[in-house]
């Protein structure tokens, strides 16, 4: 029996193409949402802290970039700002703070001391925090100007926007013998 749809042209989409389109859409939306809702954890150890405060104050207003809400618990933050000199005794503490942050997370080395040790070329100072944790953006300067920090935030936002997110099929976890009921 002929149906009323028989005369209509057929628009076919391959499953992979549809998934690719959806994945792109999800990626873009997540990137957009994440880049404008950064919650910073300021790990402030030295004089660069003054610049951190200036950058957050009304004149430079990091709120315009969606990055104005400092959280003082690493569990509620996704942008770790390492502001100032990090000595070897502080290294394990910094590492622990980084590990306590939930994924996805990003790190900014704020100032030349955090980026490379700066002029503290000695046995007690970590010669760049990238020896302890991965760094996404480096802001040079001693101290950096607030405009430089804002520029660093914009670079990071570009990176977050361009990150891709994959749709995955979650497979059921294997059943462990004797583990039923746990």
Q: Which residues bind ligand SF4 (CB under 6 A)?
A: 46-48, 84-85, 111-113, 118, 142-143
Least distance in Å: CB of 140 to ligand SF4? 9
Would you say 26 or 91 has its CB closer to ligand SF4? 91
CB of 144 to ligand SF4, least distance (A): 8
Mapped onto helix, strand or coil, the DSSP state of residue 165 is: coil
Positive or negative: CA dihedral 66, 70, 76, 79: positive
By beta-carbon proximity to ligand SF4, the closer residue of 66 and 141 is: 141
Shortest distance in whole angstroms from residue 158 CB to ligand SF4:
24
Nearer to ligand SF4, 25 or 142 (CB): 142
CB of 14 to ligand SF4, least distance (A): 54
> Considering beta carbons, is residue 62 or 157 the nearer one to ligand SF4?
62
Contact 107, 134 (CB under 8 A): yes
Cα separation of 71 and 12, whole Å?
49
Contact 42, 67 (CB under 8 A): no
70 or 141: whose CB is closer to ligand SF4?
Answer: 141
Least distance in angstroms from the C-beta of 11 to ligand SF4: 59
Backbone φ, ψ for residue 102 (5° rounding): -80, 150
H or E element, residue 36: none
Q: How far apart are CA 39 and CA 80, in angstroms?
A: 9
């Amino acid at each position: 029996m002929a149906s009323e749809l028989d005369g209509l042209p057929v628009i076919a989409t391959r499953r992979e193409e549809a998934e690719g389109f959806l994945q792109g859409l999800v990626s873009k939306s997540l990137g957009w949402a994440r880049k404008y809702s950064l919650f910073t954890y300021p790990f402030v150890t030295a004089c660069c802290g003054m610049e951190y405060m200036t950058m957050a104050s009304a004149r430079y207003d990091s709120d315009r970039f969606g990055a104005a809400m400092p959280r003082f618990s690493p569990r509620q933050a996704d942008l770790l700002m390492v502001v100032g000199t990090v000595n070897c005794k502080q290294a394990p503490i910094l590492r622990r703070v980084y590990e306590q942050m939930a994924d996805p997370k990003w790190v900014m080395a704020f100032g030349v001391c955090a980026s490379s040790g700066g002029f503290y070329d000695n046995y007690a100072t970590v010669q760049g925090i990238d020896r302890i944790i991965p760094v996404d953006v480096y802001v040079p300067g001693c101290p950096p100007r607030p405009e430089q920090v804002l520029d660093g935030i914009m670079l990071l936002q570009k990176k977050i926007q361009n990150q891709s997110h994959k749709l995955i099929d979650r497979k059921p976890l294997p059943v462990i013998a004797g583990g039923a009921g746990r």
